[in-house]
């Protein structure tokens, strides 16, 4: 099965600590690596996790706080120093482009690859639409403009039933159509139903990134039906007031969003540095949404298996 995984490179908040790095994730989708947020030091983590620079094609930045974007100039500069070719697209809100593009342009004056900055509309929308995947932005509710991202695999092709295809001596040129659901018309005019020739396609999976945001049911609406949701859980519930004031969520609130959205799995992260151990955060979330896992540096989650 082709890959659809998320690598957690950093899941701390605000200031980096010796326990957790700043926000960075990498969605590994087939041939591409797509980065979500790029805190300081993310380029080194890519290397540590053996995620090849040459496979990195898209970078999505949720908002312009240092812990989500300050690794970007260094990473983009390093790609050029490595003589990376091809293209890299960076998606950011307007302010981020205004702020960081000059830094990148100054440092990569003879950029070896095709670097494109693409503005994310504050209201979100589809950012990427390939034959296999869409990436969509939607508003989050933080102290500054901020968006989340949904990665959705498109509907996949059905699996060929090798024995039946052999039995009916199906010409190779017809296989793509049959995978796509077509029936087979035999030379004598008989019609063989597609369900005899194929088995159902592997279900398509989806992943949503919701960080940073305060608790807001509109987030649950936006990610409704998504299989795996990453939602920030900066604090425990005893600090719900601080969470709200700072535009963040508690672990319980993250779990409520997952429940409201009908998710299959929740990943919590963006822990305040006050929590050396994330177990209490995990327990708080699991009391509301049992299929919760805790992000940690180095964690790789296979997005095909949400249950």
Q: Which residues sit at the interface with a second copy, rule CB under 8 A?
A: 14-18, 21, 40-41, 43-44, 47-48, 64-67, 70-71, 73-74, 77-78, 81-82, 95, 99-100, 102-103, 106-107
Smallest gap from residue 170 Cβ to a second copy (A): 51
Smallest distance from a second copy to CB 100, Å:
7
CB of 209 to a second copy, least distance (A): 21
Q: If you search the block for the tokens 């672990």, which residue do you land on?
A: 251
Q: Which CB, 110 or 173, lies closer to a second copy?
A: 110
CB of 8 to a second copy, least distance (A): 17
Look at residues 298, 222, 234 and name the one whose alpha carbon lies nearest to residue 258: 222
| Cα 147-95-112 angle, rounded to 5 deg | 95
With tokens 């901020």, the residue in question is 146
The distance of closest approach from Cβ of residue 40 to a second copy in the complex, given in angstroms and rounded to an integer, is 4
Residue 233 DSSP code: -
Q: Which of 28, 67, 212, 227 is catalytic?
A: 67
Smallest separation, CB 50 to a second copy (Å): 10
Distance (Å, whole) CA 50 – CA 165: 40
- Closer by beta carbon to a second copy, 36 or else 76: 76
**Is 212 one of the catalytic residues?**
no
Give the start-end residues of each E strand in the chain.
4-10, 24-29, 32-38, 56-60, 87-92, 114-119, 125-129, 133-139, 147-153, 159-160, 184-185, 191-192, 198-199, 206-210, 228-232, 265-269, 292-294, 300-302
In the bound state with a second copy, the residue whose beta carbon lies nearer, of 109 and 131, is 109
Is residue 198 within 8 Å of 233, Cβ to Cβ?
Answer: no
Q: Which is nearer to a second copy, 99 or 276 (CB)?
A: 99
Q: Which ranges of the chain would DSSP assign to H, the alpha helix?
A: 42-48, 66-69, 72-81, 94-107, 162-167, 175-179, 194-197, 217-222, 240-245, 251-261, 279-286
If DSSP codes are grouped into helix, strand and coil, which group holds residue 122?
coil
**Pick 50 or 123: Cβ nearer a second copy:** 50
> Whose Cβ is closer to a second copy: residue 145's or residue 201's?
145
CA 271 – CA 168 distance, rounded (Å)? 58
Cβ distance 294 to 268 under 8 Å?
yes
Catalytic residue ranges: 67
């Amino acid at each position: 099965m082709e890959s659809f995984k998320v690598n957690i490179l950093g899941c701390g908040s605000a200031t980096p600590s010796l326990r957790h790095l700043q926000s960075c994730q990498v969605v590994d989708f087939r041939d591409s690596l797509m980065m979500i947020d790029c805190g300081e030091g993310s380029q080194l983590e890519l290397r540590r996790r053996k995620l090849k620079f040459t496979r990195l094609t898209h970078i999505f930045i949720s908002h312009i706080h240092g812990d989500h974007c300050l690794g970007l100039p260094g990473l983009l500069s390093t790609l050029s120093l490595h003589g990376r070719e091809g293209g890299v697209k960076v998606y950011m809100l307007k302010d981020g482009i205004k702020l960081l593009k000059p830094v990148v342009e100054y440092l990569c004056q003879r950029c070896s690859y095709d670097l494109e900055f693409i503005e994310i509309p504050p209201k979100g929308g589809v950012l990427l639409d390939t034959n296999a995947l869409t990436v969509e932005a939607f508003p989050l509710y933080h102290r500054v403009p901020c968006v989340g991202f949904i990665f959705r695999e498109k509907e996949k092709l059905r699996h060929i039933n090798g024995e039946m295809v052999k039995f009916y001596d199906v010409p190779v040129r017809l296989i793509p159509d049959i995978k796509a659901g077509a029936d087979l018309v035999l030379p004598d005019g008989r019609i063989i139903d597609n369900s005899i020739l194929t088995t159902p396609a592997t279900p398509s999976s989806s992943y949503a990134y919701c960080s940073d945001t305060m608790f807001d049911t509109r987030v649950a609406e936006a990610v409704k039906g998504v299989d795996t949701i990453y939602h920030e859980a900066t604090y425990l519930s005893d600090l719900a007031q601080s969470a709200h004031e700072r535009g963040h969520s508690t672990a319980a609130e993250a779990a409520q969003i997952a429940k409201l959205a009908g998710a299959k799995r929740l990943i919590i992260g963006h822990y305040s540095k006050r929590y050396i151990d994330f177990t209490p955060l995990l327990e708080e979330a699991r009391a509301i949404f049992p299929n919760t896992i805790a992000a940690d540096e180095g964690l790789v989650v296979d997005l095909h298996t949400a249950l």
